[in-house]
Amino acid sequence: MGYIIGKSVYIISSSVDIFGCICHTFGMIIDKSLVVALIESALSADYTGVRRIGGQIAKGLAEQNDIDGAKALQSLLRKRGVPLQASGYAESLPRDAASRLPLIEEGQWPTTPVMLNGESGGTISQFIEDAEHIELLAEKGVSSRLGLLLYGPPGTGKTLLAGHIAASLKRPFYIARLDSLISSRLGETAKNIRGIFEFVPARNAVLFLDEMDAIAKLRDDRHELGELKRVVNTVLQGLDSLTDDVVTIGATNHPHLLDPAIWRRFPYKVNLGLPDENVRASLWLHFLFQGDMSRKEDTQLLARASEGLNGADVENIALAARRRSVLGNQEPSLAQILLAAQGSRAGNPRLLDNRELDTADKKALTIFLHEKGGARQAEIARIVGVSRQMVHRYLRKVSDG
């Protein structure tokens, strides 16, 4: 799949191969072997299996553009499997001794694509290729540990990307948030960390260590310094205990807080910075216009005007706009969406609605489009809904101070 409007945007929407053998059910196409595997898992109370295959089917639906079907199935999969629980079965995930909360959870393969710039996309494809051919690489003596570190500001798609890598490799996706492993009880934290490193290897899974910098927070006064060292060592031992074929993905918003020895354990590193203009264009096109290329010009204007926003910001504004068009029978104007982008950039999110702009809004939007959107005066007049003379006047007031 893919619609690329800028150059060098990578769109990974790890496709599941579901078109091998085909049966038609309720107008959708599913691989017969998936149905067989699903029933087998269900009857043997293999909770993880049911979730995984259910996830594959949801992904298949999404790829056949049955988004509602995919969402419905996914929300079903998020439930904790009542029939299996009733049968006395519960997956034995490692748990924190004090809180009894699971230390790790199985994440779902994502159904929305991730947009990356060319450089990050290249590293990721290489990582996936290496992981797929790890046996050959090991045989030739050139394999390396399959550790990938994703770092960059929040909301840039690290978690989403990790899920895509698991999906591309068709492996279960286990998420451990390091901050939730930190226990107030002395010694428990190290035990929790050991628990996850012992749990994953037998499962041919992708282990995702989210919020890796959480360990550094142990450097506060509630914890003794020795504990921080012990915990870092436990993580290092855990990483070293994994064989080369185990895929480990770490994520952090604060790479500088990460212990250098941990940093070195991840041979592949990708800096997921804020999206560039091309990536922002792909994000707007996907989240707001659902790939409708006839909206290319609006997409490009939005991309120019939304510098500094991350993928999650774009998604939030786009979904708010689409909600208003569903419930309000009228699509919010491009002007409203641009104002929301401007507010988000400035750190004061603005309620998105389909009301008329007042004079203050018109002025603010004119100046914003002129300064940040690189728009010509005629274009500004059209978007803001004022005359060109008015645009001229608004801009002159600014330059006059």
Ligand X SMILES: Nc1ncnc2c1ncn2[C@@H]1O[C@H](COP(=O)(O)OP(=O)(O)O)[C@@H](O)[C@H]1O
Among 14, 159, 252, 342, binds ligand X (CB under 6 A): 159
Which CB sits closer to ligand X, 35 or 257? 257
| Cβ distance to ligand X smaller for residue 200 or 285 | 285
Pairing mode, if any, of strands 173-177 and 206-210? parallel
Q: Which two tokens stand for residue 255?
A: 């790479």
Among 40, 224, 356, 371, the one annotated catalytic? 371
How do strand 173-177 and strand 105-107 relate by DSSP bridges? antiparallel
The answer to whether residue 366 forms part of the interface with Mg ion (CB under 5 A) is no
Q: List the interface residues with Mg ion, window 146-205 (CB under 5 A).
A: 158-159
Q: Which helix (H) or strand (E) holds 132?
A: helix 118-132
> Least distance to ligand X from the beta carbon of 12, Å?
9
Q: Are 120 and 271 in contact (CB under 8 A)?
A: yes
Q: Which of 204, 122, 147, 141 is nearest to 171 (CA)?
A: 204
Cα 193 to Cα 45, 95, 96, 214, 236: the distances in Å are 28, 11, 10, 13, 10
Verify binding: residue 211, ligand X, rule CB under 6 A.
Answer: no
Q: Give residue number: closest CB to ligand X.
A: 311
Nearer to ligand X, 164 or 363 (CB): 164
Nearer to ligand X, 47 or 109 (CB): 109
Q: Please report, as a single letter, which amino acid is at residue 258.
A: L
- The CB-side HSE value for 212 (13 A sphere, CA atoms) comes to 32
Tokens of 78: 């998020």
Active site residue 331: no
Residue type, 195: G
Rounded CA separation 328/336 (Å): 14
Q: Closest distance between ligand X and the C-beta of residue 118, in Å?
A: 13
Q: Does 310 sit near Mg ion (CB under 5 A)?
A: no
Binding-residue total with ligand X (CB under 6 A): 16
Q: Which of 315, 317, 320, 383 binds ligand X (CB under 6 A)?
A: 315
**What DSSP character marks residue 256?**
G
Residues of span 276-305 touching ligand X by CB under 6 A: 283
Q: How many Å apart are CA 312 and CA 320, to the nearest integer?
A: 12
CB of 357 to ligand X, least distance (A): 28
Binding site for ligand X (CB under 6 A): 112, 114-116, 154-160, 275, 283, 311-312, 315
Binding site for Mg ion (CB under 5 A): 158-159
What positions carry a catalytic annotation?
371
